[in-house]
Structure 1
Amino acid sequence: MKYEYKGLLSDRMKSGNTRWRVRVEGQRNRKITIPMGPGESGFDAYYRAARRGEVIEQVRPKKPTKGTFDELCENYIAWLKVQAEGGNYSMSTFESRRRGLDYARELRDIDQDRFGSLSVHLPGDAFTFIWDSFGVKTGAAETCFKALRAAYSWGADRGYPKHSDILTMKSKHKSKGGAVAWNDKDVEKFLTRHGPGTMARLWFALADCTAGRIGDMPDMGPPHVTEVDGKPAITWQPKKKGSSEVTVLITEMLLTELDNHDVDRGTFLTTVYGKPFASSGSLDNRVREWIVQAKITGKNGKANRSQHGIRKGVAKLLAKLGATEYEIMTTLGHSDPRTTRIYTKDAERERMAISAAQKRMRKT
């Protein structure tokens, strides 16, 4: 698999681990193995050295210096990992915050000092520097800032700064509306490219039926099939913390696709090797490939639709059809009505606008 870093390659080993290699610049056939991938502590140094054809001796990381930003990050990450393993946080939250903190730690300031090596009492200008390093990628910057706020908030009661500037800094991120909902043309293009019996079509049918998050898809399979009033249904507990259990009737499209596949396997969706997807990330990568194959892309040639776009489309359709806030909540597994209200509010405004227009027409 290729990444945005030139010459960076990853190989899935039989053990399930990932091997990272870097092609030496100007020497296409020479590759150097490095011990970690993007987002992990120390990656940039290993990557740049490998591109130059140099091999850095792999040494055991030293214990972070007391009172440094490194120390706060490592202690918080260690605590969060225990909490995630105990079910108090999701593993996706743990991974997101770890990546955000690792990025901030490895970033270098104008004096070329690692932020991780600096005092934990970072001034507001330092956090602004971290934000600006993301350029136009304000969504990624906001994710990093969430990790920073969480770490400093945790540290405030554990001997670290109680009033860090990061806790009061306002986000500069301007939402672009998030995932784009699929329209009828998108669906037609996808299903035309991926016919009956394909894994891509089965994924779409499952995503459309359940309106679930991609994080729940890899594990979903026959054990989740139940019945409601004699009709086949799917019941599952979403992984996102705080979500409620969801039960939906199986649609005709999904029933048809399940008939085209071996339903005796443990999971509905499998890789080209017939194995369950190792993670939601690996499934997401495959989904993007299927979308690109269907030519549902932006000007950059990358997929501009996603599974979350299907979920968003289902929510909008339900709201437009007059489904109540609670009905949409139970379908999507929301635990907070404020999240669902985003969809019902827009549909209600549309209905009121139509009603107002009709009253004006009757007046004239």
Structure 2
Amino acid sequence: MPGQIRAAGIVTLKHLQTIHKGGKVYHYLRAPGAKRQRLPDLPLESPAFLAAYAAALTVLEVRSKAKPGTIAQIIEGYLASRDYLGHSESYRRTIRRHAEAIKEQAEDALASHLTTEDIADDLEPLAPNAAADRLKTWRAVCSYGKTKRLLTTDPSLAARRKAIPRTIGHPAWTDVDLERYRARWSIGTVQRLTFELIYWTGARISDAVKIGPGMVGRDGVLQFTQKKTGEPAFVPWTCQPPDYALGMLKDRKMLHMALEARLDLHLTFLATAQGRSRSSKALGHLVSDAAREANVDKSAHGLRKARAKILAEAGATVHQIAAWTGHITLEEVEHYTREANRRAAVRGREQTVKAVNR
């Protein structure tokens, strides 16, 4: 019978059923009123087993309390599904916030009564970016509902999001900005190390905090999985760089000088002196504050844009830029190459770069 079992004499595992059959041991998560779930055939104290158990228990504890056939039931089912749980933590947070808001408004409304007009009315009072996230949530929920045959049609497909005004966003750092920052923060400071790491890799702050020596392969390429997208990014670390990046070797040399100047070595390059990983928020403030002290009004994300821009100006293709920066869609990269091509169109072939032009 399922009950409570203590793993390694420390952790109580509730709803765990263990079956001995044919000389083998099988583990299941089994709770009253819920379908039995198979767990890995591993020792109870192993990290892999405990992780699988925790994931299964999370799904179990989100069992629907909503009335059958309601929008709320579909939302609760979606939030417990693999489709939802497979996304990044930050994406799940956004979707859950909007899903809970929809659920609160819908109360006991039947899913069969949901129309495109209802969804449009829900989007109307929201700002453009919030409306875009809300529509993503509606489409994810409706797609799940249709897959589970809780909806016969998907009314979210005909709904249209509001146009999002074009904005510059975080501006890219200029050559003058880079020079000012380097002049203010010398090699050996955490401000300089953070700057050089983000500038060379083009990584987002959320990824920069976890980059470390263990991510460098035998081929000399740094590879890390992006937190936002779950996709990999590849950066020439010690290997011979591609032809378009040969003119950037001074930047890589600066980074390695900053790394060699560290007093403490840890699993991540930007860890604190005590070996703790820095938070994305803290690191973002560190760069912004340090930039202001250098009379540079730019952000850490602007360094990512600067790397993409310099890659485009060096002749890298959209695919090559995307491999380095980790952008998923080519459309995200094309505006960098478009700007570089237009700039090149008004320059002479033999133009020399003078200090006044930088």
Please give the range of the TM-score, normalised by the shorter of the 2 chains: 0.5 to 0.7
Aligned partner of 2:123 in structure 1 is: 131
Q: Tell me which structure has the larger Cα radius of gyration.
A: 2
Q: CA deviation at 1:350?
A: 3.0
SS at match of 1:145: helix
Aligned match for 1:176, one of 145, 154, 167: 167
2:342 to 349, 352, 357: 349
Q: Secondary structure at the match of 1:203?
A: helix
Alpha-carbon offset, residue 275 of structure 1: 0.8
Q: For residues 271-350 of structure 1, what are the structure 2 equivalents within 5 Å?
A: 271=272, 274-277=275-278, 282-283=279-280, 285-294=281-290, 296=292, 305-334=298-327, 336-350=329-343
Shift, 1:292, TM fit: 4.2
Aligned-pair CA distance for 1:227: 6.0
The aligned runs of 1:96-111 (5 Å cut-off) are 96-106=94-104
Q: Which amino acid aligns with 2:122?
A: I
Ranges in structure 1 where 5+ consecutive residues have no aligned partner:
1-59, 107-113, 298-302, 359-364
Cα 1:157–1:227 shift into 2, 3 Å: closer
CA distance in 1, matches of 2:301, 2:218: 26
**Which structure 2 residues correspond to residues 169-318 of structure 1 after superposition, within 5 A?**
169-172=159-162, 173-188=164-179, 190-191=181-182, 194-226=185-217, 234-239=222-227, 243-249=231-237, 251-262=252-263, 264-271=265-272, 274-277=275-278, 282-283=279-280, 285-294=281-290, 296=292, 305-318=298-311
Residues 1:149 and 2:150 are matched in the alignment? no
Find the aligned partners of 2:132 and 2:212 in 1 and give their Cα distance: 35
Contact map agreement 2:211 2:268 (CA 8 A) in 1: yes
In the alignment, which of 48, 63, 73 is matched to residue 75 of structure 2? 73
Q: How does 1:73-92 map to 2 (within 5 A)?
A: 73-80=75-82, 83-84=85-86, 89-92=87-90
CA distance in 1, matches of 2:215, 2:202: 15
Q: 1:307 to 1:293 in 2, by over 3 A?
A: closer
In the superposition, relative to structure 1, how do residues 322 and 292 fare at CA in structure 2: closer, same or farther (>3 Å)?
Answer: closer
| Mapped partners of 1:122, 1:241: distance in 2 | 31
1:166 to 143, 156, 167: 156
Q: Residues 316 and 347 of structure 1 are in contact (CA less than 8 Å); yes or no, is this contact kept in structure 2?
A: yes
Aligned partners of 1:100, 1:271: CA distance in 2, in Å?
35
Query: Post-superposition shift, 1:226?
Result: 4.7
Letter in 2 for 1:286: A
Seen in structure 2, the aligned counterparts of structure 1 residues 158 and 342 have a Cα distance that, compared at 3 Å, is same
Q: Which amino acid aligns with 2:222?
A: I
Residue type at the aligned position of 1:97: I
Q: Distance in 1 between matches of 2:107 and 2:299?
A: 35
* Aligned partners of 1:245 and 1:333 also within 8 Å: yes
Do 1:247 and 1:331's aligned partners in 2 also have CA atoms closer than 8 Å? Answer: yes
Superposed CA offset, 1:131-151 (max 9, x none): 34434xx22331222122122
- The one-letter code sitting in structure 2 at the alignment partner of 1:319 is A
Q: 2:65 aligns with which of 60, 63, 78?
A: 63
Quote the offset at 1:313 in angstroms: 1.6
Greater Cα offset, 240-249 or 202-211? 240-249
Q: Residues 205-247 of structure 1, C-alpha deviation per residue, up to 9 Å, x if partnerless?
A: 111111123332232112123565xxx6533344565734513
State the alpha-carbon separation in 1 of the partners of residues 175 and 114 from structure 2: 50
2:120–2:160 contact (8 Å) kept in structure 1: no
Please say which of residues 143-152 and 195-204 is displaced more in the overlay: 195-204
Percent of aligned positions that are identical: 28
Return the TM-score normalized by structure 1: 0.62
Go from structure 1 to structure 2 and tell me whether the alpha carbon gap of 1:201 and 1:74 turns closer, same or farther (over 3 Å shift): farther
CA drift at 1:198: 3.4
The number of aligned residues is: 272
Higher RCO structure, 1 or 2 (CA under 8 Å, sep 6+):
2
Secondary structure at the residue paired with 2:222? Answer: strand
